[in-house]
Amino acid sequence: MIDLGILGVVEGPWRKSWTSDDALRYAVGVGATEPAFTTENSSGVAQQALPTMALALTHFTEPEQVFGDVDKSLILHAEQSLTLHRPLPVAGTVEVRRRVTDIFDKGSGALVVSRVDAVLPSGEPAFSAVSSAFLRGEGGFGGPRGSSSREPLPARSPNSRLEFTTAANQALIYRLSGDRNPLHSDPVFAAQGGFPRPILHGLCTYGIACRLLVGAFADGDAHRVLGMAGRFTAPVTPGDVLVIDAWRDRDGVTFRTSTAAGTVVIDNGRLSLHPPEQPATLT
């Protein structure tokens, strides 16, 4: 049974440090081949960290979030947003706090919304993230239902269609960045959750989308990313082809990610960017 007492409780702080090697490992985990993300010593190329690595740093390498006496095989990542207060460096240290901000009763399950804030040792904000976990079978407790609105896609053809074929071992590589949830590696555990085989981490799909969009709309400059958001709508199986339809506007990119078979896996996608004439500066 879900523990409603977790609402509003602040956990932490935890101190998290990462190295250049961690940034390289994460990049390979989301399928990167670009030298700026996958090497630290290429001539004339400065190493960059992909912005979405912030989520891997703070979501799965700190003490595990506990929702109560619930079946972990029935927990799914539902939504994710990330706000960068400054570019993510390739190595560094942050102090992290986590708080459950909402618990919604969706009938068939409970939706638990959590916020993570990370600050530099100086106390300056580094990044913030809001995630939602859907706990199947934990609804019906009489709580508020919450909203379920979706932003419509632009009524024009996308500016770009991007494709990426996930590797058969994509989840096994991505899990090396900290998310060791057996749903993505153990066939027995995946079957308990109703999946024929292990599925890809939602945050891996999220990171792949970020990387491709940075390449297509920010000239490969990850420092221009202000934030990213999206709603996970269906699982991805390692080996699936991902297709991203993207619409450019003044402040960034609206996108939707599907499989080649047409199943939407990330809806309400949004990547916010600094304009090129106002690049971010590392501090």
**Which residue reads 């003490």 in tokens?**
63
Decide: pTM greater than 0.95: no
Helix 20-29 and helix 202-217, axial crossing angle in degrees, nearest 10: 100
Kindly tell me if the per-residue pLDDT of 61 is higher than 90.
no
Is residue 114 included in any domain, yes or no?
A: yes
Confidence of residue 60 (pLDDT cuts 50, 70, 90): low
Residue-wise pLDDT for 99-134, tens only, equals 999 999 999 999 999 999 999 999 999 999 999 999
* Domain range enclosing 39: 4-273
Q: Does residue 31 form part of some domain?
A: yes
Of these residues, 22, 105, 117, 184, which one is catalytic?
184
Residue range 18-48, pLDDT digits in tens: 999 999 999 999 999 999 999 999 999 999 9
Question: From start to end of 157-259, where are the E strands?
Answer: 160-165, 225-232, 241-248, 252-259
Domain-embedded: residue 102: yes
151 in a domain, yes or no?
yes
Mean pLDDT value across residues 176-192: 94
At 151 the pLDDT is: 79
Q: Is 102 a catalytic residue?
A: no
Q: Which residues of 100-117 are buried (b: 16+ CB within 10 A; e: fewer)?
A: bebbbbbeebbbbbbbbb
Active-site residue, 85 included:
no
In a domain, 282, yes or no: no
Task: Establish if 283 belongs to a structural domain.
Answer: no
pLDDT at 278 (0 to 100): 53
Sequence-distant (6+) residues with CB within 8 A of 10 are 97, 98, 99
Burial zone of 189 (CB within 10 Å; 0-12 exposed, 13-18 middle, 19+ buried): middle
For the chain, what is the domain count?
Answer: 1
- The bridge status of strand 75-84 relative to strand 10-18 is unpaired
Query: Catalytic one among 179, 240, 245, 267?
Result: 179
Is residue 171 situated within a structural domain?
Answer: yes
- Domain of 201, CATH number, reads 3.10.129.10
Inside any domain, residue 278: no
- C-beta separation of 85 from 125 below 8 A: yes
What average pLDDT score do residues 182-203 get? Answer: 95
